[in-house]
Amino acid sequence: MANKKTLALSEEQYSKIINTMVTGFEFEGKQIQPNSRIATALVIEANLGIRIGDVLNLHLTDIIKDGERFRLDVIEDKTEKSRTFTVPSEIYNFIKEYCLKNDIKETAKIFQLGERAVQKQLKLVCDFLGYKGISTHSFRKYFATNIYINNNYNIELVRQLLQHSVVETSQKYIGIGTKELETAIQNNVNLLKTF
């Protein structure tokens, strides 16, 4: 199970982290160089919901053209489960463009780096931005939370996409209760002006 202290990103945090990583910044008297490679890996994690280890092991040939759509065809490293979900054409084109721009062959690993390097760069950016509780897993949680909210609070859909065994794991994972719980809490707000 994922570290419960790792937070899901907000839309603003996601945008600021990626933009800061792509442009570079000065922090504690040191110039931190732009790193579009790590930014791209994190964007893929946030858009496909796969773990960073699986992102770093991706090859362009792992995305298969299947009729009119693309689909991911990988075995997850952590769970050893097959992952064959649809990859939106925009994401496939984003990855393909990155490979072309960086002269990466279709059969080569897209990212020649390890998880530790990604975590280190992400920590630098988060320290610079003042963010706490953010790790690479925050991008997977961002994906899960957005899927949940943007699909009428369908926790079963989140469970399937994250490939969790039970819904309860998915609920704990994103830190959001069912729609009924969220609505009940919101409907119970009754602030009284006390000042």
C-alpha–C-alpha distance, residues 119 and 127, integer Å: 12
Please report the pLDDT score of residue 178 as a whole number.
61
Helix axes 167-174, 137-150, angle to 10 degrees: 110
3-state secondary structure of 188: coil
Please report the pLDDT score of residue 182 as a whole number.
66
Sequential DSSP letters for 111-149? ----HHHHHHHHHHHHHHHT--S--THHHHHHHHHHHHH
| pLDDT profile of the chain (195 residues), mean per 10 | 72 97 95 96 95 96 93 86 87 96 96 96 97 95 92 88 85 71 71 62
Please report the pLDDT score of residue 1 as a whole number.
41
Query: What is the set of domains in the chain, with CATH numbers?
Result: 11-187 (1.10.443.10)
Contact 168, 73 (CB under 8 A): no
Please report the pLDDT score of residue 192 as a whole number.
63
Short-list 1, 54, 51, 43, CA closest to 18: 43
Element (H, E) at 77: none
3-state secondary structure of 175: coil
Pairing of strands 86-87, 82-83: unpaired
Global pTM? 0.86
Short-list 122, 183, 171, CA closest to 144: 171
